[in-house]
Structure 1
Amino acid sequence: MIWAEFLGVAALLIGCAAPLRAQASCFDDLTARQVCLDRPAERVVTIPMPSASTFIAVDGAAQRLVGMHPASKRAIDEGLLGRIFPQARAIDASIAGAGSDGFMPNVETLARLDPDIVVQWGDRGDDIVGPLRNAGLTAALLRYGTEPFARGNLTLMGDIAGKPERAKELIAWRDATIADIEKAARDIRDGRRLKVVFLQRAASGLAAAGANSYNDFCIRLVGGVNAAAELVGAGAVNAEQIAQWDPDVILLNSFEEQLAPARIYDDAILSATRAARERRVYKMPIGGYRWDPPSQESPLTWMWLADILYPGAFHFDLRAEIARAYRLLYGFSPSDSDMDEILRIRTNGDARHYERFATSATR
């Protein structure tokens, strides 16, 4: 649906793209700090979890990534990226350790890896940045959690790799997808807008995504209403609060590996929600990265969610969209079994409207 318009933009960007530059370059990170490199980085370390897969997508390879956070490694092993780029499974994941929620850089490991640049959080205090500066390492700082930041992070990875036009290409895909979704969502009447709760934690306690979260952005983009909007960011809740909201749809995070819709269906209180009664509980997919936080694959998240909430208003052929997107992002053509795994057909297959994501042979 969106690809004819997008491919015209992408072709223009590709035609204008310059070859990998060898000269020095300077660019701003997401804290407006200027970063200068003598050449496009050949040895890159990423500490924030999503940035490893984002760099691989922008660069089109995993060879230049020499270190990443252990949570990034878990996502690569659990999802499809480790099979698309097998060398990513061997990347050092011991570059961060205890302290500051596990993002304190392991300076000894970093010294051994000898990176040209280290990507670190830019909004979690100087405690996790200072050791990089004191060790004489070049750092690029990112911010996270909104769509503008997601685009900025793609731009940052393009600057680090010396491939700014590649980042523009991926941002153009986001623009085209949002425009397509917004056009259809305008026709959803207020009385038909579904209440949605995204559970950022459900296996160990309960936490919901409130206003100003990225999940709130995704829900509103496709025409839904965030039932937890009274919260700000992520907030702890109890089952009684969720039951009071009585959401039409419940989304489960992809980070809690063993979490499944049965968590809701088997709960004495949550099973009474409309979402549970109507079998509209879904675990978020995982592909090259997890689909719940912002990443290079977010347009697929938006299409998936639009199709689940309003199958009569949106008509994405999601399996075809995934195939096109993976060729764009990773130069890879996923098989039907790959797409079943991405979409969690086994986990979500008996949920309402999920048959539209199955192969024609299994519908």
Structure 2
Amino acid sequence: MKKILLVSVLVLLVGVVTLAGTVTVVDQTGRTVLVTQPVTRIASVYGISTYYVYALGAQGRLVMAGYVGVKDAANAPAALKTIDPDLKEKITFGVPNVEEIASLSPDLVLSNPLKDKGMAPLLAELGIPTIEYAPEGLERVKEGMLLTGKVLGKDAYSRAQAFARDYDRIIAAVSTAVAGRTPVSVYFCGTNKLRVISGDMYQTEMIALAGGESVSEKLKGYWNNVNLEQVLAWNPEVIIIAPYGKVTPSDILDDPDWGSIAAVRSGRVYKMPRVIAPWDTPVPDSLVGILWLAAVLHPGAVPLDLAAELERFYSTYYGYELAEEEVGRLLPQ
């Protein structure tokens, strides 16, 4: 009886252990994947899952990796280059073909079925397991961390569990703090000030959780182009600029054509910060992104110290110690 109970506990903690040295998991697309242990060589061809690997302390196992928000190694965030001096050796762009991946002899491939269609079965024919992610959703980020941790070993899974606890704690604090408050209307733009998020995107859910309402939530698909007349009609109370791209708050605040918009008149135009991964994408860092958004939309409402949470997050999950001046730049101004 004790032996049966022990096996049951192991299944709950690590996944379904089918054979000695293997772990079976169900990925975010519902596929059952058998992964031989230990995993020492990882090809993460999906730019979101790469940051899961980093946050779990396993970046040294990456032999190939895509990075959302990074166009070339030279211009990667300084913090990312600090925690991984070998970045330029593993970074890849676009979708590599199966032959390129196989030539690196990975134990595991991390991918996204929408971007890497047809890759998983081809890799399976070569005996290379693939975990597929579908992370567009707040709970999916936590699930993705736990899923990745399960196949990367005890230490990684322990860190994934710690992230899940932090996730639950911060989400609960933000949700409770903004409950009953009038949602703040938010215009969220990307690499162009007239290029906005749709209601299907992760950023819309982040804004809602932080006590806001995206003015472009009725748009569909991915990034949408709009005209100034539409922005004027929306008249958002707050404007947020994505952390990537060249658009700055002054590009909007100093543009007379935008001067009548409520957010511009009150000076509530912000560029979302970034340390390692972009905060507005479904990566672990989006957890502090939600906390930052809540501080922007409802100053003083959340009973958490944003500076302390930022320091703790990057130290715990990336092994990166934020300098005092870095923390100052990350706080809403």
Provide the TM-score with structure 2 as the length reference: 0.84
Give the Å deviation of 1:248.
Answer: 0.7
Give the Å deviation of 1:233.
Answer: 4.2
Matched, 1:46 2:36: no
2:164 to 164, 167, 171: 171
Query: Where does residue 187 of structure 2 map in the other structure?
Result: 197
Give the Å deviation of 1:218.
Answer: 1.3
Cα deviation per residue 1:302-330 (whole Å; 9 max; x = unaligned)? 11111111114235322211111122212
Cα deviation per residue 1:115-142 (whole Å; 9 max; x = unaligned)? 1111111234634445534554321111
Aligned positions of 1:1-363 closer than 5 A: 23-58=21-56, 60-69=57-66, 71=68, 74=71, 77-87=76-86, 89-94=87-92, 102-103=94-95, 105-124=96-115, 126-129=117-120, 131-133=122-124, 135-162=126-153, 163-188=156-181, 190=182, 193-202=183-192, 206-234=194-222, 235-256=224-245, 258-340=246-328, 343=330, 354-355=332-333
| Distance in 2 between residues matched to 1:142 and 1:91, nearest whole Å | 24
Contact 2:110 2:130 in 1 (8 A): yes
| Distance in 2 between residues matched to 1:72 and 1:116, nearest whole Å | 26
Give unpaired runs (5+ residues) of structure 2. Answer: 1-11
- Counterpart secondary structure, 2:165: helix
| Distance in 2 between residues matched to 1:61 and 1:139, nearest whole Å | 17
Contact 1:211 1:232 in 2 (8 A): yes
How many aligned residue pairs are there? 313
- Counterpart secondary structure, 1:36: strand
Cα deviation per residue 1:189-212 (whole Å; 9 max; x = unaligned)? x3xx32101113416xx3222323
Give the Å deviation of 1:251.
Answer: 0.8
Q: 1:281 to 1:72 in 2, by over 3 A?
A: closer
Give the Å deviation of 1:179.
Answer: 0.8
The one-letter code sitting in structure 2 at the alignment partner of 1:138 is P
- Counterpart secondary structure, 1:307: helix
Give the Å deviation of 1:43.
Answer: 0.2
After TM superposition, the runs of 4+ consecutive aligned structure 1 residues lying more than 3 A away are 70-76, 127-136
Please provide the CA RMSD for this pair. Answer: 2.6
Cα deviation per residue 1:56-92 (whole Å; 9 max; x = unaligned)? 111x1421111112646548722522213323x2442
Contact 2:68 2:277 in 1 (8 A): no
The one-letter code sitting in structure 2 at the alignment partner of 1:85 is D
Sequence identity, in percent? 28
The one-letter code sitting in structure 1 at the alignment partner of 2:82 is R
The one-letter code sitting in structure 1 at the alignment partner of 2:306 is L
- Counterpart secondary structure, 2:190: strand
The one-letter code sitting in structure 2 at the alignment partner of 1:40 is P
Give the Å deviation of 1:232.
Answer: 2.6
Give unpaired runs (5+ residues) of structure 1. Answer: 1-15, 97-101, 346-353, 356-363
Contact 1:17 1:165 in 2 (8 A): no
The one-letter code sitting in structure 1 at the alignment partner of 2:147 is L
Provide the TM-score with structure 1 as the length reference: 0.78
